[in-house]
Amino acid sequence: MKHADTTASAASAGAAAAPTPAIDPILLSVFARTFRAITDEMSISMERTTRSPILCEAKDYVTGLYDAEGRMLEQTENLPILAFSLAPVCKHIRETFDGDIHEGDVFFHNDVFTLGNQNNDVAAFKPVFFEGELVGWTAVKGHQADIGGAVAGGYNPNAVEVWQEALRIPAVKIVERGKLRKDVWNLIFANVRLDIVQHDMKAEMGACEVGARRLVELLKKYGAASYHAHKQALFDATRRMMQAEIAKIPNGRYSGEGSVYYDGRHEGSKFTIRVDIDVQDRSIRFDYSRTDPQTNGFVNGTFTSSASATILTLLQMVNPDIPHNEGMVQPIEIVIPEGTILNAAYPKATTFGNHLCPPNADAIQRALSPALPDRVTAGWNNLLASLTTGIDPKTGEKYVDIGFMGLKGGSGALPGCDGYDHIGMIDASGGVLDQDYEMFEQQTPHRLIRHELLTDSAGAGQWRGGLGVETIFEIGSDDTQLVTFGDGDFEGAFGLAGGHGAGLNFIRLHYPDGRTVVPRNKDLITGVPKGTRYHQVANGGGGWGDPKKRDRKLLAEEVRNGIVSREAALRDYGMDEAQLK
Protein backbone atom coordinates (compact mmCIF):
# COMPACT_ATOMS: atom_id res chain seq x y z
CA MET A 1 0.00 0.00 0.00
CA LYS A 2 1.38 3.42 -0.97
CA HIS A 3 1.00 6.64 1.02
CA ALA A 4 1.98 10.26 0.76
CA ASP A 5 5.13 9.64 2.80
CA THR A 6 8.02 8.83 0.41
CA THR A 7 9.66 6.78 3.15
CA ALA A 8 6.59 4.54 3.31
CA SER A 9 6.72 3.97 -0.45
CA ALA A 10 10.43 3.20 -0.39
CA ALA A 11 10.08 0.80 2.49
CA SER A 12 7.23 -0.99 0.75
CA ALA A 13 9.31 -1.35 -2.41
CA GLY A 14 12.22 -2.74 -0.44
CA ALA A 15 9.99 -5.21 1.38
CA ALA A 16 8.56 -6.43 -1.92
CA ALA A 17 12.04 -7.15 -3.32
CA ALA A 18 13.22 -9.04 -0.26
CA PRO A 19 12.88 -12.86 -0.23
CA THR A 20 10.00 -14.25 1.81
CA PRO A 21 11.26 -15.65 5.14
CA ALA A 22 10.64 -19.31 5.91
CA ILE A 23 7.69 -19.96 8.20
CA ASP A 24 8.70 -21.09 11.68
CA PRO A 25 5.74 -22.87 13.37
CA ILE A 26 6.93 -21.81 16.81
CA LEU A 27 7.30 -18.19 15.73
CA LEU A 28 3.86 -18.42 14.09
CA SER A 29 2.42 -19.26 17.50
CA VAL A 30 4.39 -16.39 19.05
CA PHE A 31 2.88 -13.93 16.59
CA ALA A 32 -0.64 -15.27 17.11
CA ARG A 33 -0.43 -15.12 20.89
CA THR A 34 1.23 -11.72 20.87
CA PHE A 35 -1.51 -10.31 18.66
CA ARG A 36 -4.02 -11.50 21.26
CA ALA A 37 -1.95 -10.15 24.13
CA ILE A 38 -1.93 -6.74 22.44
CA THR A 39 -5.72 -6.55 22.12
CA ASP A 40 -6.13 -7.85 25.68
CA GLU A 41 -3.86 -5.09 26.98
CA MET A 42 -5.85 -2.54 25.00
CA SER A 43 -9.01 -3.89 26.63
CA ILE A 44 -7.50 -3.55 30.11
CA SER A 45 -6.51 0.02 29.28
CA MET A 46 -10.13 0.78 28.35
CA GLU A 47 -11.50 -0.80 31.51
CA ARG A 48 -9.21 1.28 33.70
CA THR A 49 -9.43 4.65 31.93
CA THR A 50 -13.05 5.04 30.76
CA ARG A 51 -15.55 6.82 32.99
CA SER A 52 -19.01 5.78 31.82
CA PRO A 53 -20.43 2.69 33.59
CA ILE A 54 -21.48 1.44 30.16
CA LEU A 55 -17.76 1.02 29.44
CA CYS A 56 -15.80 0.66 32.68
CA GLU A 57 -18.47 -1.46 34.41
CA ALA A 58 -20.37 -3.32 31.67
CA LYS A 59 -17.40 -3.42 29.22
CA ASP A 60 -19.59 -2.61 26.22
CA TYR A 61 -16.57 -2.20 23.94
CA VAL A 62 -14.10 -4.15 21.79
CA THR A 63 -10.44 -3.79 20.89
CA GLY A 64 -8.86 -4.92 17.65
CA LEU A 65 -5.61 -5.22 15.72
CA TYR A 66 -5.48 -5.14 11.90
CA ASP A 67 -2.84 -5.26 9.19
CA ALA A 68 -2.12 -2.44 6.74
CA GLU A 69 -5.01 -3.48 4.50
CA GLY A 70 -7.46 -3.57 7.41
CA ARG A 71 -7.52 -7.36 7.69
CA MET A 72 -8.21 -8.65 11.18
CA LEU A 73 -5.18 -9.95 13.08
CA GLU A 74 -6.93 -10.42 16.43
CA GLN A 75 -9.57 -8.88 18.66
CA THR A 76 -10.69 -8.98 22.29
CA GLU A 77 -14.42 -9.47 22.12
CA ASN A 78 -15.98 -8.04 25.23
CA LEU A 79 -19.01 -7.55 22.99
CA PRO A 80 -18.69 -9.82 19.94
CA ILE A 81 -21.24 -8.04 17.74
CA LEU A 82 -19.06 -4.94 17.92
CA ALA A 83 -15.84 -6.86 17.33
CA PHE A 84 -16.83 -8.10 13.90
CA SER A 85 -17.84 -4.59 12.88
CA LEU A 86 -14.36 -3.06 13.14
CA ALA A 87 -12.60 -4.67 10.16
CA PRO A 88 -15.08 -3.41 7.51
CA VAL A 89 -14.71 0.16 8.79
CA CYS A 90 -10.92 -0.15 8.95
CA LYS A 91 -10.89 -1.13 5.27
CA HIS A 92 -13.27 1.75 4.50
CA ILE A 93 -11.00 4.30 6.21
CA ARG A 94 -7.95 2.92 4.42
CA GLU A 95 -9.68 3.36 1.04
CA THR A 96 -11.22 6.75 1.86
CA PHE A 97 -7.94 8.30 3.01
CA ASP A 98 -5.61 6.42 0.66
CA GLY A 99 -2.59 8.66 0.08
CA ASP A 100 -3.34 10.72 3.19
CA ILE A 101 -2.55 8.32 6.04
CA HIS A 102 0.39 9.37 8.18
CA GLU A 103 2.19 8.43 11.34
CA GLY A 104 0.40 10.03 14.30
CA ASP A 105 -3.06 10.13 12.67
CA VAL A 106 -6.23 9.06 14.49
CA PHE A 107 -9.67 8.62 12.91
CA PHE A 108 -13.19 8.56 14.42
CA HIS A 109 -16.20 6.81 12.88
CA ASN A 110 -19.77 5.79 13.77
CA ASP A 111 -21.72 6.24 10.52
CA VAL A 112 -24.08 3.31 9.92
CA PHE A 113 -24.27 4.06 6.20
CA THR A 114 -20.54 3.64 5.72
CA LEU A 115 -20.28 0.22 7.39
CA GLY A 116 -20.91 1.23 11.01
CA ASN A 117 -23.17 -0.97 13.08
CA GLN A 118 -24.91 1.40 15.53
CA ASN A 119 -24.75 5.16 16.01
CA ASN A 120 -23.79 5.00 19.68
CA ASP A 121 -20.93 2.63 18.92
CA VAL A 122 -18.15 5.09 18.13
CA ALA A 123 -14.75 3.82 17.02
CA ALA A 124 -11.23 5.21 17.06
CA PHE A 125 -8.65 3.91 14.54
CA LYS A 126 -4.89 4.53 14.60
CA PRO A 127 -2.52 3.59 11.76
CA VAL A 128 0.74 1.98 12.90
CA PHE A 129 4.01 2.64 11.09
CA PHE A 130 7.34 0.84 11.32
CA GLU A 131 10.44 2.17 9.57
CA GLY A 132 8.24 4.44 7.45
CA GLU A 133 5.89 1.66 6.32
CA LEU A 134 2.23 1.35 7.28
CA VAL A 135 2.15 -2.08 8.93
CA GLY A 136 -1.16 -2.16 10.76
CA TRP A 137 -4.01 -0.48 12.60
CA THR A 138 -5.25 -0.52 16.16
CA ALA A 139 -8.92 0.15 16.84
CA VAL A 140 -11.37 0.47 19.70
CA LYS A 141 -15.14 0.73 19.47
CA GLY A 142 -17.34 1.45 22.48
CA HIS A 143 -20.97 2.24 23.18
CA GLN A 144 -21.06 5.91 24.15
CA ALA A 145 -23.47 7.21 26.78
CA ASP A 146 -24.78 9.81 24.34
CA ILE A 147 -24.14 10.74 20.73
CA GLY A 148 -26.62 13.54 20.13
CA GLY A 149 -29.92 13.11 18.35
CA ALA A 150 -33.43 13.75 19.63
CA VAL A 151 -33.34 11.51 22.72
CA ALA A 152 -30.68 11.43 25.43
CA GLY A 153 -28.81 8.15 25.42
CA GLY A 154 -29.36 7.50 21.72
CA TYR A 155 -32.37 5.13 21.69
CA ASN A 156 -35.34 6.88 20.06
CA PRO A 157 -38.27 4.52 19.40
CA ASN A 158 -40.04 7.33 17.49
CA ALA A 159 -37.26 7.80 14.95
CA VAL A 160 -37.84 7.16 11.25
CA GLU A 161 -34.55 8.59 9.92
CA VAL A 162 -30.96 8.67 11.08
CA TRP A 163 -30.87 12.39 11.94
CA GLN A 164 -33.51 11.80 14.64
CA GLU A 165 -31.21 9.26 16.27
CA ALA A 166 -27.70 10.62 16.51
CA LEU A 167 -24.85 12.69 15.17
CA ARG A 168 -23.41 10.95 12.12
CA ILE A 169 -19.62 10.73 12.10
CA PRO A 170 -18.36 9.49 8.73
CA ALA A 171 -14.66 8.64 8.74
CA VAL A 172 -12.94 11.78 9.99
CA LYS A 173 -9.33 12.50 10.90
CA ILE A 174 -9.38 13.78 14.48
CA VAL A 175 -5.60 13.81 14.97
CA GLU A 176 -3.27 14.65 12.08
CA ARG A 177 0.43 13.74 12.32
CA GLY A 178 0.18 13.80 16.11
CA LYS A 179 -1.69 17.14 16.38
CA LEU A 180 -5.30 17.28 17.58
CA ARG A 181 -7.67 18.96 15.13
CA LYS A 182 -9.46 21.07 17.72
CA ASP A 183 -12.05 22.41 15.29
CA VAL A 184 -13.18 18.89 14.38
CA TRP A 185 -13.10 17.81 18.03
CA ASN A 186 -15.23 20.78 19.10
CA LEU A 187 -17.70 20.23 16.27
CA ILE A 188 -18.32 16.63 17.32
CA PHE A 189 -18.62 17.18 21.06
CA ALA A 190 -20.71 20.33 20.75
CA ASN A 191 -23.41 17.95 19.50
CA VAL A 192 -23.11 15.48 22.41
CA ARG A 193 -24.97 16.08 25.68
CA LEU A 194 -22.60 14.49 28.17
CA ASP A 195 -19.06 15.70 28.87
CA ILE A 196 -18.12 12.16 29.88
CA VAL A 197 -18.23 11.04 26.24
CA GLN A 198 -15.21 13.05 25.14
CA HIS A 199 -13.21 11.61 28.03
CA ASP A 200 -14.24 8.10 27.02
CA MET A 201 -13.17 8.78 23.44
CA LYS A 202 -9.79 9.96 24.78
CA ALA A 203 -9.59 6.58 26.54
CA GLU A 204 -10.24 4.86 23.19
CA MET A 205 -7.42 6.87 21.62
CA GLY A 206 -5.14 5.96 24.51
CA ALA A 207 -5.90 2.26 24.15
CA CYS A 208 -5.10 2.51 20.43
CA GLU A 209 -1.75 4.07 21.32
CA VAL A 210 -1.02 1.21 23.74
CA GLY A 211 -1.68 -1.30 20.97
CA ALA A 212 0.38 0.61 18.45
CA ARG A 213 3.42 0.67 20.75
CA ARG A 214 3.18 -3.06 21.35
CA LEU A 215 2.92 -3.85 17.64
CA VAL A 216 6.01 -1.72 16.91
CA GLU A 217 7.90 -3.52 19.69
CA LEU A 218 6.97 -6.85 18.08
CA LEU A 219 8.29 -5.71 14.70
CA LYS A 220 11.50 -4.38 16.23
CA LYS A 221 12.12 -7.83 17.65
CA TYR A 222 11.32 -9.96 14.59
CA GLY A 223 11.38 -7.58 11.62
CA ALA A 224 8.78 -6.46 9.11
CA ALA A 225 9.49 -9.26 6.63
CA SER A 226 8.92 -11.96 9.24
CA TYR A 227 5.75 -10.18 10.40
CA HIS A 228 4.27 -10.03 6.89
CA ALA A 229 5.12 -13.66 6.12
CA HIS A 230 3.84 -15.08 9.40
CA LYS A 231 0.60 -13.11 9.47
CA GLN A 232 -0.23 -14.45 6.01
CA ALA A 233 0.60 -17.96 7.17
CA LEU A 234 -1.65 -17.38 10.18
CA PHE A 235 -4.50 -16.32 7.88
CA ASP A 236 -4.00 -19.44 5.76
CA ALA A 237 -3.87 -21.81 8.75
CA THR A 238 -6.97 -20.24 10.30
CA ARG A 239 -8.86 -20.46 7.00
CA ARG A 240 -8.10 -24.18 6.83
CA MET A 241 -9.30 -24.65 10.41
CA MET A 242 -12.62 -22.96 9.64
CA GLN A 243 -12.98 -24.92 6.40
CA ALA A 244 -12.47 -28.14 8.36
CA GLU A 245 -15.26 -27.13 10.75
CA ILE A 246 -17.63 -26.30 7.89
CA ALA A 247 -16.82 -29.66 6.29
CA LYS A 248 -18.37 -31.36 9.34
CA ILE A 249 -21.77 -29.95 8.33
CA PRO A 250 -23.51 -32.18 5.75
CA ASN A 251 -23.80 -30.52 2.35
CA GLY A 252 -27.23 -29.09 1.63
CA ARG A 253 -29.58 -26.16 2.15
CA TYR A 254 -30.95 -25.38 5.61
CA SER A 255 -33.61 -22.77 6.29
CA GLY A 256 -34.86 -21.09 9.45
CA GLU A 257 -36.89 -18.13 10.67
CA GLY A 258 -36.87 -15.65 13.54
CA SER A 259 -39.51 -13.07 14.46
CA VAL A 260 -39.33 -9.37 15.28
CA TYR A 261 -42.27 -7.78 17.09
CA TYR A 262 -43.41 -4.15 16.77
CA ASP A 263 -41.35 -1.47 15.05
CA GLY A 264 -42.00 1.25 17.63
CA ARG A 265 -44.65 2.98 15.49
CA HIS A 266 -47.24 0.53 14.19
CA GLU A 267 -49.14 -1.49 16.79
CA GLY A 268 -49.28 -5.20 16.01
CA SER A 269 -46.52 -5.05 13.41
CA LYS A 270 -44.42 -8.18 13.03
CA PHE A 271 -41.48 -9.00 10.79
CA THR A 272 -39.75 -12.22 9.83
CA ILE A 273 -36.05 -12.87 9.36
CA ARG A 274 -35.52 -15.75 6.92
CA VAL A 275 -32.17 -17.35 6.28
CA ASP A 276 -31.21 -19.99 3.73
CA ILE A 277 -27.88 -21.60 4.60
CA ASP A 278 -26.04 -23.40 1.80
CA VAL A 279 -23.19 -25.69 2.81
CA GLN A 280 -20.93 -26.94 0.05
CA ASP A 281 -17.92 -28.92 1.18
CA ARG A 282 -15.66 -26.35 2.88
CA SER A 283 -17.67 -23.16 2.40
CA ILE A 284 -20.91 -21.81 3.87
CA ARG A 285 -23.31 -19.18 2.53
CA PHE A 286 -25.97 -17.32 4.51
CA ASP A 287 -28.65 -15.81 2.26
CA TYR A 288 -31.25 -13.44 3.76
CA SER A 289 -32.94 -12.52 0.48
CA ARG A 290 -36.36 -13.73 1.71
CA THR A 291 -36.25 -11.55 4.84
CA ASP A 292 -39.03 -8.98 5.26
CA PRO A 293 -38.56 -5.39 4.03
CA GLN A 294 -37.26 -2.63 6.29
CA THR A 295 -39.57 -0.92 8.75
CA ASN A 296 -40.62 2.71 9.00
CA GLY A 297 -39.31 2.82 12.56
CA PHE A 298 -35.97 2.35 14.30
CA VAL A 299 -36.21 -1.46 14.24
CA ASN A 300 -33.82 -1.95 11.34
CA GLY A 301 -30.31 -3.32 11.08
CA THR A 302 -27.27 -2.42 9.03
CA PHE A 303 -25.35 -4.88 6.91
CA THR A 304 -22.44 -4.73 9.34
CA SER A 305 -24.47 -5.40 12.50
CA SER A 306 -26.41 -8.21 10.83
CA ALA A 307 -23.34 -9.86 9.31
CA SER A 308 -21.61 -9.64 12.69
CA ALA A 309 -24.58 -11.40 14.28
CA THR A 310 -24.34 -14.17 11.70
CA ILE A 311 -20.63 -14.73 12.31
CA LEU A 312 -20.84 -14.80 16.09
CA THR A 313 -23.77 -17.25 16.00
CA LEU A 314 -21.83 -19.60 13.71
CA LEU A 315 -18.78 -19.36 15.98
CA GLN A 316 -20.81 -20.82 18.84
CA MET A 317 -21.14 -24.03 16.80
CA VAL A 318 -17.49 -24.56 15.81
CA ASN A 319 -14.13 -25.20 17.44
CA PRO A 320 -13.63 -22.42 20.02
CA ASP A 321 -9.85 -22.55 19.55
CA ILE A 322 -9.96 -21.13 16.03
CA PRO A 323 -8.02 -17.84 16.06
CA HIS A 324 -10.15 -14.82 15.27
CA ASN A 325 -8.49 -13.27 12.27
CA GLU A 326 -9.15 -12.65 8.59
CA GLY A 327 -8.71 -16.31 7.68
CA MET A 328 -11.62 -17.30 9.91
CA VAL A 329 -14.16 -15.31 7.87
CA GLN A 330 -12.84 -16.10 4.40
CA PRO A 331 -14.91 -19.30 3.89
CA ILE A 332 -18.10 -17.47 4.95
CA GLU A 333 -20.35 -15.66 2.47
CA ILE A 334 -23.20 -13.46 3.71
CA VAL A 335 -25.91 -12.05 1.42
CA ILE A 336 -28.24 -9.41 2.90
CA PRO A 337 -30.06 -7.35 0.25
CA GLU A 338 -30.38 -3.64 0.90
CA GLY A 339 -33.90 -2.61 1.85
CA THR A 340 -34.54 -5.57 4.15
CA ILE A 341 -35.00 -5.24 7.90
CA LEU A 342 -31.42 -6.51 8.32
CA ASN A 343 -29.89 -3.99 5.90
CA ALA A 344 -31.91 -0.80 5.81
CA ALA A 345 -31.39 1.73 3.03
CA TYR A 346 -30.26 5.31 3.67
CA PRO A 347 -31.54 7.29 5.56
CA LYS A 348 -33.64 4.87 7.64
CA ALA A 349 -33.39 4.72 11.43
CA THR A 350 -31.32 1.74 12.63
CA THR A 351 -30.52 2.11 16.34
CA PHE A 352 -32.22 -1.19 17.20
CA GLY A 353 -30.09 -3.04 14.64
CA ASN A 354 -27.65 -4.68 17.08
CA HIS A 355 -30.64 -6.15 18.90
CA LEU A 356 -31.88 -7.95 15.80
CA CYS A 357 -29.11 -10.44 16.58
CA PRO A 358 -31.33 -12.66 18.81
CA PRO A 359 -34.05 -13.31 16.17
CA ASN A 360 -31.30 -13.66 13.56
CA ALA A 361 -29.58 -16.21 15.80
CA ASP A 362 -32.92 -17.98 16.34
CA ALA A 363 -33.25 -18.36 12.56
CA ILE A 364 -29.74 -19.78 12.23
CA GLN A 365 -30.16 -22.14 15.19
CA ARG A 366 -33.46 -23.47 13.88
CA ALA A 367 -31.93 -23.95 10.45
CA LEU A 368 -28.82 -25.81 11.59
CA SER A 369 -30.26 -27.81 14.52
CA PRO A 370 -31.04 -30.87 12.30
CA ALA A 371 -27.51 -30.78 10.83
CA LEU A 372 -25.65 -30.08 14.09
CA PRO A 373 -27.87 -31.51 16.84
CA ASP A 374 -24.98 -31.72 19.32
CA ARG A 375 -23.72 -28.18 18.73
CA VAL A 376 -26.82 -26.00 18.42
CA THR A 377 -28.25 -24.68 21.67
CA ALA A 378 -31.90 -24.20 22.46
CA GLY A 379 -33.10 -20.61 22.36
CA TRP A 380 -31.55 -17.90 24.50
CA ASN A 381 -33.63 -15.42 26.44
CA ASN A 382 -34.82 -12.70 24.11
CA LEU A 383 -33.84 -9.16 24.98
CA LEU A 384 -36.05 -6.72 26.84
CA ALA A 385 -33.93 -3.80 28.02
CA SER A 386 -34.31 -0.28 29.34
CA LEU A 387 -32.38 2.96 29.58
CA THR A 388 -33.01 5.68 32.17
CA THR A 389 -31.88 9.27 31.86
CA GLY A 390 -32.39 12.35 34.00
CA ILE A 391 -30.78 14.78 36.45
CA ASP A 392 -29.19 13.30 39.56
CA PRO A 393 -30.54 15.43 42.45
CA LYS A 394 -27.40 14.72 44.51
CA THR A 395 -25.05 16.26 41.96
CA GLY A 396 -27.26 18.26 39.62
CA GLU A 397 -25.62 16.45 36.70
CA LYS A 398 -27.13 14.47 33.84
CA TYR A 399 -26.88 10.68 33.94
CA VAL A 400 -27.55 7.87 31.45
CA ASP A 401 -27.87 4.27 32.55
CA ILE A 402 -28.48 1.13 30.50
CA GLY A 403 -29.75 -1.42 33.01
CA PHE A 404 -27.37 -4.24 32.11
CA MET A 405 -27.90 -6.23 35.29
CA GLY A 406 -31.66 -6.41 34.75
CA LEU A 407 -31.70 -7.47 31.11
CA LYS A 408 -29.45 -10.51 31.34
CA GLY A 409 -31.42 -13.75 31.05
CA GLY A 410 -30.20 -17.31 30.55
CA SER A 411 -28.77 -19.12 27.55
CA GLY A 412 -30.13 -22.24 25.92
CA ALA A 413 -29.04 -25.76 26.80
CA LEU A 414 -27.46 -28.32 24.50
CA PRO A 415 -26.76 -32.06 24.89
CA GLY A 416 -24.59 -32.65 27.93
CA CYS A 417 -24.65 -29.06 29.16
CA ASP A 418 -27.16 -26.85 30.95
CA GLY A 419 -27.49 -23.27 29.78
CA TYR A 420 -25.52 -20.51 31.45
CA ASP A 421 -27.34 -18.64 34.20
CA HIS A 422 -27.74 -14.87 33.80
CA ILE A 423 -25.43 -14.64 30.79
CA GLY A 424 -27.25 -11.98 28.82
CA MET A 425 -27.84 -11.31 25.15
CA ILE A 426 -26.65 -13.79 22.54
CA ASP A 427 -25.04 -10.87 20.67
CA ALA A 428 -22.92 -10.27 23.76
CA SER A 429 -22.33 -13.99 24.36
CA GLY A 430 -21.64 -13.31 28.01
CA GLY A 431 -19.30 -10.41 27.32
CA VAL A 432 -21.40 -7.65 28.87
CA LEU A 433 -20.94 -7.59 32.62
CA ASP A 434 -23.28 -6.55 35.41
CA GLN A 435 -22.94 -3.20 37.02
CA ASP A 436 -21.44 -3.39 40.47
CA TYR A 437 -24.24 -2.74 42.96
CA GLU A 438 -22.45 0.00 44.86
CA MET A 439 -21.26 1.67 41.66
CA PHE A 440 -24.81 1.53 40.28
CA GLU A 441 -25.99 3.54 43.28
CA GLN A 442 -23.00 5.90 43.04
CA GLN A 443 -23.37 6.64 39.33
CA THR A 444 -27.17 6.93 39.26
CA PRO A 445 -29.67 8.31 41.78
CA HIS A 446 -31.45 4.93 41.91
CA ARG A 447 -31.57 2.60 44.93
CA LEU A 448 -31.25 -1.14 44.25
CA ILE A 449 -33.76 -3.28 46.14
CA ARG A 450 -33.42 -6.74 44.59
CA HIS A 451 -31.26 -8.48 42.02
CA GLU A 452 -31.28 -12.28 42.14
CA LEU A 453 -31.55 -15.45 40.09
CA LEU A 454 -35.19 -16.35 39.47
CA THR A 455 -36.59 -19.75 40.45
CA ASP A 456 -38.23 -21.67 37.57
CA SER A 457 -37.10 -19.15 34.96
CA ALA A 458 -35.13 -21.78 33.01
CA GLY A 459 -36.79 -23.94 30.37
CA ALA A 460 -37.11 -27.52 31.63
CA GLY A 461 -35.22 -30.30 29.89
CA GLN A 462 -32.89 -33.24 30.31
CA TRP A 463 -30.47 -30.33 30.18
CA ARG A 464 -32.16 -27.20 31.48
CA GLY A 465 -31.76 -23.67 30.22
CA GLY A 466 -29.84 -21.07 32.17
CA LEU A 467 -31.65 -19.10 34.85
CA GLY A 468 -32.83 -15.55 34.39
CA VAL A 469 -33.01 -12.77 36.97
CA GLU A 470 -35.42 -10.47 38.77
CA THR A 471 -34.41 -6.85 39.37
CA ILE A 472 -36.14 -4.16 41.41
CA PHE A 473 -34.88 -0.65 42.08
CA GLU A 474 -36.36 2.66 43.14
CA ILE A 475 -35.97 5.55 40.72
CA GLY A 476 -34.24 8.46 42.44
CA SER A 477 -34.75 11.40 40.07
CA ASP A 478 -37.81 13.45 39.18
CA ASP A 479 -38.90 13.77 35.56
CA THR A 480 -36.97 10.62 34.64
CA GLN A 481 -37.06 9.41 31.04
CA LEU A 482 -37.33 5.68 30.36
CA VAL A 483 -36.70 4.00 27.00
CA THR A 484 -37.49 0.32 26.49
CA PHE A 485 -36.37 -1.87 23.61
CA GLY A 486 -36.48 -5.58 22.81
CA ASP A 487 -38.84 -8.44 21.98
CA GLY A 488 -38.58 -10.58 25.10
CA ASP A 489 -42.13 -9.81 26.23
CA PHE A 490 -43.52 -11.30 22.99
CA GLU A 491 -41.49 -14.49 22.58
CA GLY A 492 -39.62 -16.52 25.15
CA ALA A 493 -36.65 -18.79 24.48
CA PHE A 494 -37.55 -21.97 22.58
CA GLY A 495 -36.72 -25.53 23.61
CA LEU A 496 -35.18 -28.26 21.46
CA ALA A 497 -35.52 -32.07 21.24
CA GLY A 498 -38.45 -32.13 23.63
CA GLY A 499 -37.09 -29.47 25.98
CA HIS A 500 -39.43 -26.75 27.21
CA GLY A 501 -39.28 -23.11 26.32
CA ALA A 502 -38.91 -20.35 28.91
CA GLY A 503 -41.31 -17.62 29.96
CA LEU A 504 -41.70 -14.03 28.84
CA ASN A 505 -39.85 -11.02 30.17
CA PHE A 506 -41.51 -7.92 31.59
CA ILE A 507 -40.85 -4.40 32.80
CA ARG A 508 -43.34 -2.69 35.13
CA LEU A 509 -43.31 0.74 36.69
CA HIS A 510 -45.12 1.10 40.03
CA TYR A 511 -45.71 4.82 40.53
CA PRO A 512 -45.88 6.44 43.99
CA ASP A 513 -49.59 7.23 43.47
CA GLY A 514 -50.40 3.50 43.13
CA ARG A 515 -50.58 3.32 39.34
CA THR A 516 -48.79 0.55 37.46
CA VAL A 517 -47.50 1.30 33.96
CA VAL A 518 -46.35 -1.48 31.64
CA PRO A 519 -44.22 -0.01 28.85
CA ARG A 520 -44.44 -1.39 25.34
CA ASN A 521 -41.43 -3.33 24.16
CA LYS A 522 -40.25 -0.26 22.22
CA ASP A 523 -41.34 2.78 24.16
CA LEU A 524 -40.39 6.24 25.38
CA ILE A 525 -41.90 7.30 28.69
CA THR A 526 -41.18 10.76 30.09
CA GLY A 527 -41.93 12.34 33.43
CA VAL A 528 -41.43 9.22 35.55
CA PRO A 529 -41.50 10.53 39.15
CA LYS A 530 -38.98 9.99 41.89
CA GLY A 531 -39.96 7.06 44.10
CA THR A 532 -41.28 4.95 41.23
CA ARG A 533 -40.41 1.29 41.71
CA TYR A 534 -38.92 -0.33 38.61
CA HIS A 535 -39.56 -4.10 38.38
CA GLN A 536 -37.97 -6.24 35.67
CA VAL A 537 -37.81 -9.96 34.94
CA ALA A 538 -35.42 -11.40 32.35
CA ASN A 539 -36.33 -15.04 31.92
CA GLY A 540 -34.12 -18.03 31.24
CA GLY A 541 -32.99 -20.04 28.25
CA GLY A 542 -34.70 -22.99 26.59
CA GLY A 543 -34.22 -26.58 27.69
CA TRP A 544 -32.88 -29.48 25.60
CA GLY A 545 -34.31 -33.00 25.70
CA ASP A 546 -37.14 -34.65 27.62
CA PRO A 547 -37.31 -33.14 31.15
CA LYS A 548 -38.31 -36.54 32.55
CA LYS A 549 -34.81 -37.79 31.68
CA ARG A 550 -33.05 -35.24 33.87
CA ASP A 551 -30.89 -36.72 36.60
CA ARG A 552 -33.17 -37.20 39.64
CA LYS A 553 -30.47 -36.63 42.23
CA LEU A 554 -29.37 -33.39 40.56
CA LEU A 555 -32.98 -32.25 40.28
CA ALA A 556 -33.68 -32.90 43.95
CA GLU A 557 -30.61 -30.80 44.81
CA GLU A 558 -31.87 -27.98 42.56
CA VAL A 559 -35.20 -28.04 44.37
CA ARG A 560 -33.40 -27.71 47.71
CA ASN A 561 -31.36 -24.80 46.35
CA GLY A 562 -34.38 -22.94 44.94
CA ILE A 563 -33.37 -23.29 41.29
CA VAL A 564 -36.45 -25.36 40.53
CA SER A 565 -39.59 -25.14 42.64
CA ARG A 566 -41.19 -28.23 44.13
CA GLU A 567 -44.27 -27.63 41.98
CA ALA A 568 -42.25 -27.41 38.77
CA ALA A 569 -40.29 -30.55 39.63
CA LEU A 570 -43.56 -32.47 39.94
CA ARG A 571 -45.29 -30.83 36.98
CA ASP A 572 -42.53 -30.36 34.38
CA TYR A 573 -39.95 -32.99 35.29
CA GLY A 574 -42.27 -35.81 36.38
CA MET A 575 -40.71 -36.15 39.83
CA ASP A 576 -42.67 -37.89 42.55
CA GLU A 577 -42.86 -36.92 46.21
CA ALA A 578 -40.58 -39.76 47.28
CA GLN A 579 -37.78 -38.51 45.02
CA LEU A 580 -38.01 -35.05 46.54
CA LYS A 581 -37.44 -36.24 50.11
DSSP assignment of 62-113: EEEEEETT--EEEEE-SSHHHHTTHHHHHHHHHHHTTT---TT-EEEE--GG
How far apart CA 530 and CA 446 sit, in angstroms, is: 9
Q: List b or e across 443-469, with b for residues whose CB sees 16 or more CB atoms inside 10 angstroms.
A: bbbbebeebebbbbbbbbbbbbbbbbb
Q: H-helix or E-strand containing 558?
A: helix 552-560
Tens of pLDDT along 222-232?
999 999 999 99
Alpha carbons 321 and 41: distance in angstroms, whole number = 20
> Average pLDDT in the 425-433 region?
72
Tens digit of each residue's pLDDT (9 = 90 or more) over 347-385: 999 999 999 999 999 999 999 999 999 999 999 999 999
Confidence at 429, pLDDT banded by 50, 70, 90: low
Does the pLDDT of residue 461 top 80, yes or no?
Answer: yes
Element (H, E) at 16: helix 6-17
* CA distances, 523 to each of 264, 267, 386, 477 (Å): 7, 12, 9, 19
Q: Is the pLDDT of residue 10 over 80?
A: no
Confidence of residue 19 (pLDDT cuts 50, 70, 90): confident
Convert the pLDDT of each residue in 207-216 to its tens digit: 999 999 999 9
pLDDT at position 15 over 50: no
**Spatial separation of the C-alpha atoms in residues 309 and 315, rounded to whole Å:** 10
Distance CA 383, CA 493 (A): 10
Mean pLDDT of 317-335: 95
Give the number of other Cβ atoms within 10 Å of residue 375's Cβ. 17
Provide the mean pLDDT of the chain: 93
The 3-state DSSP class for residue 222 equals: helix
Of all residues in the chain, what percent carry a pLDDT higher than 90? Answer: 88
CA distance 332 to 131: 35
- Proportion of the chain above pLDDT 70, given as a percent: 96
Residue 240 has pLDDT above 50, yes or no: yes
**What mean pLDDT comes out for the span 241-268?**
95
- Name which residue leads in pLDDT, 13 or 550: 550
Q: How far is CA 425 from CA 25, 76, 79, 412, in A?
A: 37, 18, 10, 11
